[in-house]
Amino acid sequence: MANETVFKRYPGNPIITARAVPRANSIHNSAVTRFGEAYAGIFRVDELDMRFTLHVGHSPDAIHWDIDPDPVKMHSDDPDIRMTDHSYDPRITRIDDTYYITWCNADSHGPQIGLATTTDFVHFHQMENPLPTANRNCVIFPRQIDGKYAIYHRPSDRGHTPFGDIFYATSPDLVHWGCHRFVMGPVGGWQSTKIGPGPAPIETPEGWLLIYHGVWTSCNGYLYYAGGALLDLDQPWKVIHRTRDYLLAPTEPYERVGDVPNVVFPSSALVENGVIRLYYGCADTCISVAEANLTDVIDFVKTHSF
């Protein structure tokens, strides 16, 4: 039995494996959302030829997923704006009736952030990449702040970055981004190498709850953990609390063993009836869920912070 904090792993983990898509080598680091009376998601599929593609999925219960065997087709007004063959780690945010999808849209210039919108998970409109290369993680806030769209993002380099801080930025129109503010960077222990934003921030009376990944470097490579932070509701670059102890660590066999060992990569969260279901990629191979009461997560972040 793994050492657990407030999150309890779903006993049927992993809930999604490569068996869900015929051409999948692996399915991991993906995003889900409430969609009408059911759920929809955008799934990272590393294909048999090792192209990384995004696929739409639907589920009645957010556990059993039907994933499209073919990648998403994005449309844009400009042929230069396109989804690359190295598209990975999507996040979804809903604002009103529109779903905003961000992902790492990497090309020969390195990792960049892609941005698209949909209202029906059938038609996708891809917009200009919001940030300059290199950047590997970006998630949109679920409402505007001070009249502007807001993101957390994580500048990177072209490779498997051995560093990484989280920044905040805003935009009046989803195209022009600026006012970049430092939010937080690596600190000791499991988050000492780099950190990056996970699911869309969750608004709570105690501040924005951000679940993030933290990485430390062992003598045998990177290990990925999940932590949490509470940030000021009006000035979300200001950290109120931040976990010293991790929320989730790679301890189960499916988190320890895979294409990239020792990875839990939180990328999506559903909050319903006071319960948070956290979706996370496991060892770059499959997808799992862990569940906690939202108030317990908030208390944990407050009481296990620096």
Tell me which of 46, 47, 89, 255 binds ligand BMA, using CB under 6 A. Answer: 89
For position 224 contacting ligand BMA by CB under 6 A, the verdict is yes
Taking residues 285 to 304 in sequence order and writing x for each that binds ligand BMA by CB under 6 A, - otherwise, the string is: --------------------
Q: Taking every pair of C-alpha atoms in the chain, what is the biggest distance, in angstroms? A: 51
Question: For strand 124-127 and strand 74-75, is the pairing parallel, antiparallel, or unpaired?
Answer: parallel
Considering the complex, state which of residue 194 and residue 277 has its C-beta at the smaller distance from ligand BMA.
194
**Interacting residues with ligand BMA between 119 and 148 (CB under 6 A):** 136
Tell me which of 177, 281, 288, 289 binds ligand BMA, using CB under 6 A. Answer: 281
Considering the complex, state which of residue 18 and residue 263 has its C-beta at the smaller distance from ligand BMA.
263
Q: Which residues contact 262 (CB under 8 A, 6 or more apart)?
A: 221, 222, 223, 224, 250, 255, 256, 283
For position 164 contacting ligand BMA by CB under 6 A, the verdict is no
Q: What is the 3-state secondary structure (H, E, C) of 199-219?
A: CCCEEECCEEEEEEEEEEEEC
Rounded Cα distance, 287 and 222, in Å: 19
Q: Is 54 exposed, middle or buried (0-12, 13-18, 19+ CB in 10 A)?
A: buried
Considering the complex, state which of residue 196 and residue 228 has its C-beta at the smaller distance from ligand BMA.
196
Considering the complex, state which of residue 255 and residue 284 has its C-beta at the smaller distance from ligand BMA.
284
Rounded Cα distance, 129 and 100, in Å: 13
Considering the complex, state which of residue 74 and residue 260 has its C-beta at the smaller distance from ligand BMA.
260
Tell me which of 141, 265, 279, 300 binds ligand BMA, using CB under 6 A. Answer: 265
Tell me the residue length of the chain: 306
Tell me which of 29, 118, 193, 243 binds ligand BMA, using CB under 6 A. Answer: 29
Q: Which stretch binds ligand BMA (CB under 6 A): 113-121, 185-193, 257-265, 289-297?
A: 257-265
Q: Which residue sits closest to ligand BMA, CB atoms considered?
A: 260
Tell me which of 46, 47, 255, 284 binds ligand BMA, using CB under 6 A. Answer: 284
Paired tokens of 3: 């050492």
For position 47 contacting ligand BMA by CB under 6 A, the verdict is no
Map tokens 């892609």 to a residue.
114
Omega of the bond prior to 134 within 30 degrees of 0, cis? yes
Query: Which stretches does DSSP call E strand in 135-245?
Result: 135-140, 149-155, 166-171, 178-184, 194-197, 202-204, 207-218, 221-231, 239-242
For position 39 contacting ligand BMA by CB under 6 A, the verdict is no
Q: Which stretch binds ligand BMA (CB under 6 A): 14-22, 68-76, 121-129, 258-266?
A: 258-266
Interacting residue ranges for ligand BMA, rule: CB under 6 A: 29, 88-89, 136, 160, 224, 260, 263, 265, 281, 284
